[in-house]
Chains A and B, each alone.
Chain A
Amino acid sequence: MPSIWVIELTLKTYVTSRILLTIPMILLLFTFVFIIVRILPGDPAAAHFEKSVDPLVLQEFRHRLGLDADPFTQYFAYLGGIPFGNFGLSMQDFSPISSHIAIRFPATLELTIYAMLFAVLFGVALGVQSAKKYDTVQDHGIRFFGIVTYAIPVFFLGMILQFIFSIWLGFLPTGTRFDPRYDAPTTITGLYTIDSLLTGNIQAFVISIRYLLLPSITLGLILCGIFIRLTRTNMLETLRMDFVVAAEARGLSEAKVTYGYALKNAFLPILTMIGLQFAALLAGAILTETTFSWPGLGTYLVQRINHRDYTAIQGVVVFFGILVSLVTLFVDILYAYLDPRIRL
């Protein structure tokens, strides 16, 4: 059957070219970060220490971190290590940064997953409502809400929510990831909610949800504005289409028409936006984690900045860059798979 063969070929070509395009992007980013962190400060090892130190100590320090080679050797050595998960050594205790990432990243991942879940559910619900009540007070109110959430610094929102719900009302914990009085669930994936469910530890699940609630709502609220707007625009278009009118004429319930028919068709751009917002999500996560003392990569990065640990900064930033590139790649491929128009 020739037609299927053509589609398969184009999809394959698209995926291949998309992957090939990702490689130079990651390389460029890597080079960019390398220049900023390793070359710009002159000597990052000397810049790490506040006072001048014994040259011999400094030399030893450089040697252990691999900073004594010339920039080109350093560049290729670092680049060669990345495919094997080697992101260099920390200036603090010469521990591999990848081990810190391995411990910290699940916390960040858990936070971002729940934040994105909240942002999508809340944003899409509000967007649908806004589109249904087009040009009413409700519509304008929701749009304004979307704009306001964009303008709030995420850490300020976090502090306000923390103040209201933990300090003033005392409902929820102020920060960190788990109640220190209980044992954390056995590490399987590193995501506490999933681990506790896998081990059947309901108590741990409830505790981790309680600790997750405020940070993920904070981060989700900041991101939901873009989903409100996107859903609203797409729903406005879709609700005017013939098949929606036809569904209404057949006497289907309003909820069924809105969510079952219209939203289903308006959902593809929202799916893409989830992938595109991943970078913003990570950036927001850094500040949210710092506000809630969440033991993720963001707090690690901030902590390393305050210790002027340039190798660790470089490692985490490169990790973030690769992560975002891969997620974008994945979303693009998924989108191409779901929407045949993009392949043509």
Chain B
Amino acid sequence: MTQKNIMGGIFIHLRPSKETFQERSMKWWITFVVIVAGTAVVLAGLVFLAAISRSGIGLQVVSCTFIFGVIILITGAARRGMIHEQRLTIRQGNILLVLVSAILVAIMAEVGYITIADPVLRASLPEAMRGSSLSTSLVLGGVLFSLIILLLYEGYPILSHRGSPGFVAMSGLLIVFAIVYMTAVSWWIVPYDPTRLDVGPYGGAPSLQFPLGTTALGQDLLSRVISGGGIMLQVAIISVAVCFSIGVPMGLAASYRGGLPDRAVSLVMDSIFAFPGLVLAIAIAAILGPGVTNMAMAIAVVYIPSYFRVVRSQVLTIKELPYIEAAIVMGARNRDIIFRYILPNILPSAVVVMSINFADAVLTAAGLTFVGLGLPVDVPDWGWDLTFGSHEYVTGKWWSITFPGLMIVVLALGFTLAGEGLNEVLTPKLKE
């Protein structure tokens, strides 16, 4: 069993194939150094924040997730080694990995539960933090941290086969994971309570005490920047999940069946697709009113057609291929043809659309917040901070827009880079 056959897990669709890929540029190692250095800087920053956090247990939370990641890494390496020596099959190795992570998740949840049950700690927590349990932060943070480590460790040999697109995809995913991780543990590492008003001066400039300055309501901008990704990510994840689970099956069903239903659905989808997305999202969000789910639904409606169109065009091509004909001749059921023969071949393109869609969802969510369809003031949200800062910066308070805005750019950039890279890695035939 060769090295390239044993790659499993999250890179199941990323198996390297040297034959189809031609190395274009040798500059990718610069990218790799930048990626690793960037990750190290981000982690150092997080540890520093954790050390000065107001909750007092930020360092414990972060180190718990670090340990989680290291254990997963060791298990992953052991699994790979044992598979390589043929002491385990791939399936057994994957089961081992899943088992270890399940045990770790259980331990983390237990640790979080015990700590949060401590009445002294509980009483010292600010009002908004009592609802968000420590277990969630620990489990989510741990899983994400191990994903980051796995990406660096397992992704490197696979993606280096793909040259620069592989590293573009990897850096994009790393940015995204880093931001999600930061958001997951944010409540425990913020220096101030992000929901509280007047913790500092009103619209104060960056200083030692408030490194990114304060908002016009006296909130600490650093704390809000750290914890502000939650809303964006929730909206993006919900809307993308809805889009994906409606657009892909619809595209599959309509194009596989063909005929009149296909034409009718295509016409509906085309007319939504032709429409300026933001205008439609604004109209829907204005009717549904504020709220995370409503915002996500407004965005979801707009982006369903992009999945539908991509899936449809792919299925129309694949349907004509000889192996599908062979399956039909051999009497395979429609269900088998769709799910076993067609779906795996269209998934890579759908994943690429999904990744770009994440960036669009984040930008649209920010846009909706900007036109006044966002969430209430006490929820930390980059979009809201940026919108609120737009009344402030005319007086020269550049920090009020710069930092929340940059965070949105970085998150959208992460998704876009991931999409760009995955596009070239997963669908190499589209390239040039």
User: B-contacting residues of A (Cβ < 8 Å)?
Assistant: 21, 24-26, 28-29, 32-33, 36-37, 40-41, 135, 140, 147-148, 150-156, 159-160, 163, 167-168, 174, 233, 236-237, 279-280, 282-284, 286-287, 290-291, 301-302, 305-306, 308, 310, 313-314, 317, 320-321, 324-325, 328
Contacts and interface: CB of A to CB of B under 8 A. Distances in A.
12 contacts: A25-B267, A25-B271, A41-B287, A153-B405, A156-B386, A163-B398, A168-B396, A283-B277, A286-B371, A301-B282, A320-B279, A324-B276
Interface stretch (B134-142, B187-195, B362-370): B362-370
Contact of A279 (B277, B284, B408): B277
B393 A290 contact: no
B420 interface: yes
Contacts of B280: 317
Contacts of B12: none
A320 B286 contact: no
Contacts of A163: 393, 398, 401
Nearest to A286: B278
B371 A283 contact: no
Nearest to A139: B25
Interface string B24-37: 11010000000000
A37 B372 CA distance: 18
Contacts of A40: 287-288
A25 B270 contact: yes
Given A152-B409, A159-B393, A305-B372, 8 more contacts: A25-B267, A37-B287, A151-B409, A167-B394, A283-B276, A284-B278, A287-B371, A305-B282
Nearest to A225: B416
Contacts of B278: 283-284, 286-287
A167 B401 CA distance: 14
Contacts of B283: 33, 36-37, 313-314, 317
Nearest to A314: B283
Contacts of B235: none
Nearest to A166: B394
A314 B277 CA distance: 15
B282 A156 contact: no
B34 to A, nearest CB: 12
Contacts of A320: 275-276, 279
B432 interface: yes
B279 A151 contact: no
A127 to B, nearest CB: 15
B396 A167 contact: yes
Contact of A160 (B274, B405, B408): B405
A140 B164 CA distance: 10
Contact of B27 (A140, A168, A302): A140
A29 B286 contact: no
Nearest to B367: A287
B380 to A, nearest CB: 18
A327 B373 CA distance: 29
B272 A32 contact: yes
A305 B370 contact: no
Interface of B: 24-25, 27, 267-268, 270-272, 274-280, 282-284, 286-288, 359, 363, 366-367, 370-373, 386, 390, 393-394, 396, 398, 401-402, 405, 408-409, 412-413, 415-417, 420, 432
A280 B276 contact: yes
Contacts, number: 142
A135 B287 contact: no
A89 B117 CA distance: 59
A257 to B, nearest CB: 21
A-B interface, 9 closest residue pairs, ranked by CB to CB distance from nearest: A283-B278, A151-B412, A156-B405, A151-B413, A283-B276, A25-B271, A279-B276, A282-B276, A28-B271
A147 B367 CA distance: 19
A321 B275 contact: yes
Contacts of A302: 371-372
B284 A155 contact: no
Contacts of A28: 267-268, 271
A279 B409 contact: no
B371 A36 contact: no
Contacts of B396: 167-168
A159 to B, nearest CB: 5
Contacts of B275: 29, 279, 320-321, 324
A38 to B, nearest CB: 10
A78 B432 CA distance: 48
A305 B359 contact: no
Contacts of A140: 27
A40 B297 CA distance: 14
A37 B282 CA distance: 11
Contact of A324 (B268, B274, B286): B274
Contacts of B371: 286-287, 290, 302, 305
B271 to A, nearest CB: 4
Nearest to A44: B287
A320 B287 CA distance: 18
A214 to B, nearest CB: 14
A135 B372 CA distance: 43
Contact of A283 (B279, B284, B359, B417): B279
B366 A153 contact: yes
B274 A306 contact: no
Contacts of B277: 279-280, 283
A155 B370 contact: yes
A282 B279 contact: yes
A192 to B, nearest CB: 24
Contacts of A21: 267
A233 to B, nearest CB: 7
A150 B359 contact: yes
B303 to A, nearest CB: 13
A291 B24 CA distance: 42
Given A236-B432, A305-B282, A317-B280, A279 B274 contact: yes
A153 B282 CA distance: 16
A43 to B, nearest CB: 12
Contacts of B359: 150-151
Nearest to B390: A159
A282 B274 CA distance: 12
Contacts of A283: 276-279
Given A24-B267, A29-B275, A290 B370 contact: yes
A240 B261 CA distance: 44
B339 to A, nearest CB: 30
Nearest to A276: B274
A321 B271 CA distance: 9
Contacts of B390: 155, 159, 291
Contacts of A310: 286-287
A276 B298 CA distance: 22
Contacts of B284: 36
A174 B395 CA distance: 12
